[in-house]
């Protein structure tokens, strides 16, 4: 097959064996490993710098695609005949593995290197929801394409859409092959990933909550990073202790959630809401944002930057929440963009 580069991390397993080890056992020539955010072994925190290194087990050079070098360079691809891409996505626009996919496809197109994408299940693949990204204003590494927050596609289907919609620089197309899964059903709700895709998405429940909770990263609300329940709790330091009464009940997503204390490791005690026992609805749920905004000091809720807008993909959502619009009214503003996206999406679907 020639000389291979592999885009991989801790999720890139064939059974219980890492893809790189599987390829080497088959006498494939793997000359380079590219790794995404969180690193090759998936242990780096979100946003943490990931250095180039050498894989201690195989001696293969590892090139980080997070930080300044998000896209493989011509030099890094000069001795490569094929690139194999195998990362476990979670089906959210701001989860950066699809941005890494974009840059890998772009580099392969520019350097005439074929790309093989090994498809994997999408644990949030059973619905499509949320505002569509305004690429003219809010394109970034946490959102590169005009897609909704939850796009309901596997990473292989998504790669076909990047190619088919000519989203690569200059409208180029990558020589792309998608290796499909057998027996995958899009409506497989609650699919339990065998390996956590990143350090703070540790179970199926957190992954299901992630699309709706990640926007809190653009606010002063903690989503439990540094605790044992990231993306399953949300809260603030004790500044609002008169509001965050221990054992109080709050209604989110139409269900009761309990107020609790939680303390990030080495941090300040927080008062917040545990979502660990609620049933997560199949939608991009605004009830969490609206509840927390209502309980917080309004002028300090949103961070003084545009990261919330980058995550939301629009400048409207912050204004709509501040204006007190209902969830139904806000959701209605997304519908034209969602319907247009669904028509585009249909062209690239592989599975029922």
What domains can you pick out in the chain, each with its CATH number? 3-192 (3.40.50.12170), 204-341 (3.90.1150.140)
Helix 97-111 vs helix 155-164: crossing angle, to nearest 10: 50
Q: Could you list the pLDDT tens digit for every one of the 352 residues in the chain?
A: 799 999 999 999 999 999 999 999 999 999 999 998 776 765 544 545 555 678 878 889 999 998 888 999 999 999 999 999 999 999 999 999 999 999 999 999 999 999 999 999 999 999 999 999 999 999 999 999 999 999 999 999 999 999 999 999 999 999 999 999 999 998 877 678 999 999 899 999 999 999 999 999 999 999 999 999 999 999 887 655 555 555 567 788 788 887 777 888 878 888 888 899 899 999 999 999 998 898 887 888 999 999 999 999 999 999 999 999 999 999 999 999 999 999 999 999 999 8
Cα distances (Å, whole numbers) of residue 256 to 224, 253, 280, 323, 327: 19, 8, 12, 25, 18
Burial of residue 275, with CB atoms counted within 10 A of its CB: 0-12 exposed, 13-18 middle, 19 or more buried = buried
Structure tokens at 5: 């580069």
- Residue showing tokens 């790669």: 159
What is the structure's pLDDT at 245?
A: 54
What is the structure's pLDDT at 342?
A: 98
Distance, in Å, from the CA atom of 347 to the CA atom of 324, rounded to the nearest integer, reads 37
What is the structure's pLDDT at 262?
A: 82
Cα distances (Å, whole numbers) of residue 332 to 312, 319, 339: 15, 15, 11
Distance, in Å, from the CA atom of 160 to the CA atom of 173, rounded to the nearest integer, reads 10
Distance, in Å, from the CA atom of 321 to the CA atom of 319, rounded to the nearest integer, reads 6
> Which residues are 219's β-sheet partners?
302
What is the structure's pLDDT at 44?
A: 46
Q: Hey, how many other C-beta atoms are within 10 angstroms of the C-beta on 297?
A: 12
What are the tens digits of pLDDT across the range 1-46?
799 999 999 999 999 999 999 999 999 999 999 998 776 765 544 5
Distance, in Å, from the CA atom of 132 to the CA atom of 72, rounded to the nearest integer, reads 28
What is the structure's pLDDT at 48?
A: 52
* Residues sharing a CB contact under 8 Å with residue 69, sequence separation 6 or more, in sequence order: 63
């Amino acid at each position: 097959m020639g000389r291979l580069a592999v885009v991989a991390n801790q999720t890139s397993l064939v059974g219980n064996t890492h893809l790189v080890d599987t390829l080497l056992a088959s006498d494939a020539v793997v000359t380079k490993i590219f790794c995404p955010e969180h690193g090759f072994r998936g242990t780096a925190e979100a946003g943490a710098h990931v250095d180039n290194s050498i894989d201690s087990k195989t001696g293969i050079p590892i090139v980080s695609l997070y930080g300044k070098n998000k896209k493989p360079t011509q030099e890094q691809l000069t001795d490569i005949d094929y690139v194999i891409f195998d990362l476990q996505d979670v089906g959210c626009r701001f989860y950066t593995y699809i941005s890494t996919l974009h840059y890998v496809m772009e580099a392969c197109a520019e350097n005439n290197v074929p790309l093989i994408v090994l498809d994997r299940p999408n644990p949030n693949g059973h619905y499509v929801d949320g505002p569509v990204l305004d690429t003219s204003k809010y394109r970034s590494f946490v959102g590169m394409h005009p897609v909704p927050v939850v796009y309901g596609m596997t990473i292989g289907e998504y790669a076909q859409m990047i190619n088919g919609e000519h989203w690569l620089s200059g409208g180029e197309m990558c020589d792309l092959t998608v290796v499909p899964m057998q027996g995958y059903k899009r409506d497989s709700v609650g699919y339990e990933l065998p390996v956590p895709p990143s350090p703070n998405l540790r179970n199926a429940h957190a992954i299901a909550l992630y699309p709706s909770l990640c926007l809190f990263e653009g606010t002063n609300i903690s989503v439990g990073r540094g605790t044992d329940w990231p993306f399953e709790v949300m809260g603030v330091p004790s500044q609002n202790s008169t509001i965050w009464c221990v054992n109080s009940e709050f209604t989110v997503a139409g269900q009761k959630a309990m107020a609790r204390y939680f303390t990030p490791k080495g941090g300040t005690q927080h008062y917040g809401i545990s979502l660990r026992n609620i049933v997560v609805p199949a939608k991009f749920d605004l009830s969490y944002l609206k509840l927390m905004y209502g309980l917080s000091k309004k002028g300090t809720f949103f961070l003084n930057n545009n990261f919330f807008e980058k995550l939301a993909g629009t400048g409207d959502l912050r204004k709509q929440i501040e204006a007190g619009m209902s969830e139904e009214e806000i959701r209605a503003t997304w519908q034209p963009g969602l319907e247009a996206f669904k028509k585009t999406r249909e062209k690239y679907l592989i599975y029922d």
